[in-house]
Structure 1
């Protein structure tokens, strides 16, 4: 190992659970439900009142974006729903605040770049591991290349998909802080390593959840295609039916996670 490897600050994991600044819950009008869905689709959240009779119960601080927190009834149980923000640091901060408010079982739903050739737009992926190519996760777990998801939470997601006959793939995702630095060589290396998608939050979500002792799993859908010699956007952010459907899957899955 070179001097550079040993001098990297991200290798200096400190397991001390008492940080100088403790996570604070967001401002809420009523208690945060134990079950929470983190949804990355703003247009789906904007229609949540009409589609799921949601009501606003609070919001995160304005300096984090002021994302609203909604409550919906799913299968007779209250579930909080909010946008966690894009990128590992911001998403982890929202997750920390939701845990501090009382959240104990989390399902995230978002999009990802397809690393595997031929993966159809909208295909559902359940990540069972993530390559930690971002910075946030190293503050919650010792240095390692990969973080594994809890098999029981993955199974809960898969059970919902199987019951609804939704095609899916289980596999490893590549979490990166720099989507504009997904070079052809790095894409090939991650694909050869076994990654089937690329996104910006999963590794952080998994390590924060493990550190705080809560349940967390995630649904991704194949959005843009980065598997070829050129980038194909595929107009993936306009896949409204896919995105609304993924939220419904997350609402079903979160009710199956043990508290």
Structure 2
């Protein structure tokens, strides 16, 4: 269900397309075309019946499955602090803000319909709701408190301006960051681990419907995004700024 090469044409069927790449599900939802259960007809027929422009639909589906990859050779550690923060906010924070409400709604609807058949889905829904509820405050804390402070330290370091760093010394960078990493991040990381356990690493059950496969694929996508998000902050950004802070402190001695 992920990154397969698809030849989408009027003879293709919605369910088969979604089975091959879960990212097409949102396009079918937008156009009001069913892909989950029931008799599947060729897209050409469905579009004619529902007054949907087949060329526009196919274009939207192809856009949804276009490959977007980041090279493993990307040297994040060499990026300037400003650029790294902007990347985290515009890529990872934006992804969470856009994805979590939609995924929460889909998971809640699926839980109501299939909780008897899939008992673990109740616990998965509970854990996900806790995860989604914790994220807004976490992102606000980063964007309004942590990141502005990191930018200040980086500016002082790059300008070699010890006087601009002096007022920053009123605060202790290590203390809020330690709390930020150990508490906020740990709660989110624990939720990701529970997602994996409750879904057997996002493995679909035999004979499961496409809508459940789509949910599992989206959870896996969230897992992948959060893994890189944590890596950029915990292993690259925060240690980099702490080293800058230490050097600035030494300059003021």
Q: TM-score range by the shorter chain?
A: under 0.3
Point out the structure with max Rg over C-alpha: 2
TM-score by length of 1: 0.24
Structure richer in helix, relative to its length: 2
